[in-house]
């Protein structure tokens, strides 16, 4: 199949080769051609075979390399992955809940999800300040929390994790508070912590809680200053921190222009994943904060940063959106390409940037891509997201994908899919 699809471009190249040989015959005369016909035929066949082999291998085979330095594995990927361009990323919808047509379950703003040992799904509804628990088949079971800042209340919940005992840990954005509920939804306690932009929380098998925080991406800053990881033990005490903590200052903010790295604790493999915008890179840390692997992608789409007037923030036409992990250890990086008009608009508006102001940069040509890496850090393939599909919100421990969609009336809808990577068909 791959050989056949790769052979098609060969025909166009052979056309030019045949024209060149015909021209050579015409200029040389028929007698000379007959005299040297065996040499010409051999030469022509050699070129044809070379073109065929190069085209047949063009779309398959990894073109990266791996090095080891200071016990850290560095993997360098380029445009071509192990699968070439031979697979399709297929989503098989299992169910969807929410939306105006659902009279039982409606969402205001879905921020995150988590699953427990019984495959129940805990949906963080940021707008309604609660957690909605649904069965693996999509039926509403109960609701945890209500709007407020008192004991047992939630205020803009953002992230959620469930430990081995079934206790539910919920992070709240506004007050940086972790509220703890029992498996049946009874409030137990809470504690506060200092952190910047929390993206994810998760428990390891020992019951330790990891809180991953992102900082602003600052031009010229070390990568260590772009994230901050805090680990709390089962008694609520902080026993490990790595990265650097940076709090927001009163400086110019440009909405949708500056970007964050994206950090996530992967509870299935007990590791921390950290994806950077520029340069495009994924760092994998052990549960005790030791860098184990650095996955680099040299794709040309991630252009050098555009320096803004205050020389603090940067804008590029490509931005990482999220990083996820499959149960088999494969890593999925989601990124967006806003197109050339995005960068042009940044430069245009930069002429009138003012200190402390907020600006909106529109997305005119946005495309979303999924980069899939194996557990060794090698790029398998880059997939372009279908325009009519939704954003991936989470991947559960069984490998099912949850998408945050909206219906025709722009009401939030939660969708559950099985995902597969199948050979392309003609």
Is 415 or 309 the better-scoring residue by pLDDT? Answer: 415
When pLDDT is averaged across residues 71-97 and rounded to a whole number, the result is 92
Average pLDDT over residues 244-273: 60
Indicate whether 352 pLDDT > 80. no
pLDDT at res. 169: 94
pLDDT attached to residue 240: 76
What percent of the chain has a predicted confidence (pLDDT) above 70? 65
> Mean pLDDT over all residues of the chain?
76
pLDDT band at 361 (very low <50, low <70, confident <90, very high): low
Per-residue confidence at 246, pLDDT binned at 50, 70, 90? very low
Q: Specify the pLDDT at position 340.
A: 56
Q: Give a three-class secondary structure readout of the chain.
A: CHHHHHHHHHHHHHHHHHHHHHHHHHHHCHHHHHHCHHHHHHHHHHHHHHHHHHHHCCCCCCCCEEEEECCEEEEEECCCCCCCCCEEEEEEEEEEEECCCCCCCCCCCEEEEEECCCCCEEEEECCCCEEEEECCCCCEEEEECCECCCCCCECCEEEEEECCCCCEEEEECCCCEEEEECCCCCEEEEEECCCCEEEEEEECCCCCEEEEEECCCCCCCCHHHHEEEEEECCCCCEEEEEECCCCCCCCCCCECCCCCCEEEEECCCCEEEEEECCCCEEEEEECCCCEEEEEEECCCCCCCCEECCCCCCEECCEEEEEEEECCCCCEEEEEEECCHHHHHHHHHHHCCCCCCCCCECCCCCCEEEEEEECCCCCEEEEEECCCCCCEEEEECCCCCEEEEEECCCCCEEEEEEEEEEEECCC
The predicted pLDDT at position 312 comes to: 39
Q: How confident is the model at residue 57 (pLDDT cuts 50, 70, 90)?
A: very low
pTM over 0.85: no
**Structure-model confidence comparison of residues 57 and 188, the more confident one:** 188
What per-residue confidence (pLDDT) applies to 314?
A: 45
- List pLDDT tens digits, range 216-241: 443 333 444 456 777 877 766 777 77
- Rounded to an integer, the average pLDDT of 286-300 is 87
Residue 147 pLDDT > 70:
yes
Q: Which range has highest mean pLDDT (17-26, 216-225, 228-237, 284-293)?
A: 284-293
């Amino acid at each position: 199949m791959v050989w056949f699809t790769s052979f098609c471009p060969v025909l166009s190249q052979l056309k030019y080769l045949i024209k060149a040989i015909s021209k050579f015959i015409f200029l040389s005369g028929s007698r000379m051609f007959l005299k040297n016909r065996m040499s010409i035929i051999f030469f022509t066949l050699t070129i044809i075979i070379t073109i065929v082999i190069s085209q047949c291998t063009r779309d398959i085979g990894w073109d990266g390399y791996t090095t080891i330095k200071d016990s850290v594995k560095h993997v360098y990927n380029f445009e071509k992955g192990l699968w070439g361009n031979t697979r399709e990323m297929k989503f098989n919808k299992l169910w969807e809940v929410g939306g105006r047509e659902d009279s039982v379950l409606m969402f205001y703003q879905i921020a995150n999800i988590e699953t427990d040992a019984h495959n129940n799904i805990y949906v963080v509804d940021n707008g309604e300040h609660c957690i909605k628990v649904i069965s693996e088949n999509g039926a509403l079971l109960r609701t945890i929390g209500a709007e407020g800042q008192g004991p047992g209340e939630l205020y803009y919940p953002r992230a959620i994790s469930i430990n081995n005992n079934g206790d539910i840990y919920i992070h709240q954005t506004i007050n940086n508070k972790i509220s703890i509920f029992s498996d049946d939804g009874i409030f137990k306690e809470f504690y506060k912590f200092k952190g910047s932009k929390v993206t994810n929380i998760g428990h390891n098998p020992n019951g330790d809680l990891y809180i991953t925080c992102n900082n602003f991406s600052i031009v010229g800053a070390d990568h260590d200053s772009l994230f901050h990881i805090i680990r709390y033990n089962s008694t609520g005490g902080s026993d490990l921190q790595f990265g650097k903590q940076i709090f927001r200052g009163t400086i110019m903010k440009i909405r949708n222009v500056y970007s964050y790295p994206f950090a996530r604790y992967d509870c299935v493999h007990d590791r921390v994943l950290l994806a950077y915008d520029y340069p495009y890179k994924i760092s994998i840390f052990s549960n005790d904060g030791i860098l184990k692997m650095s996955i680099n992608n040299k794709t040309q789409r991630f252009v050098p940063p555009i320096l803004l007037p205050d020389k603090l923030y940067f804008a590029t036409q490509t931005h990482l959106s999220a990083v996820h992990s499959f149960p088999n250890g494969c890593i999925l990086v989601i990124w967006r390409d806003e197109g050339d008009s995005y960068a042009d608009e940044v430069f245009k508006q930069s002429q009138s940037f003012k200190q402390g102001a907020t600006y909106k940069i529109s997305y005119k040509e946005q495309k979303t891509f999924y980069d899939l890496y194996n557990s060794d850090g090698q790029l398998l393939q880059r997939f372009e997201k279908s325009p009519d599909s939704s954003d991936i919100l989470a991947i559960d421990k069984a490998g099912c994908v949850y998408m945050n969609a909206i219906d025709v009336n722009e009401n939030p809808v939660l969708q559950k899919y099985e995902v597969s990577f199948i050979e392309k068909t003609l």
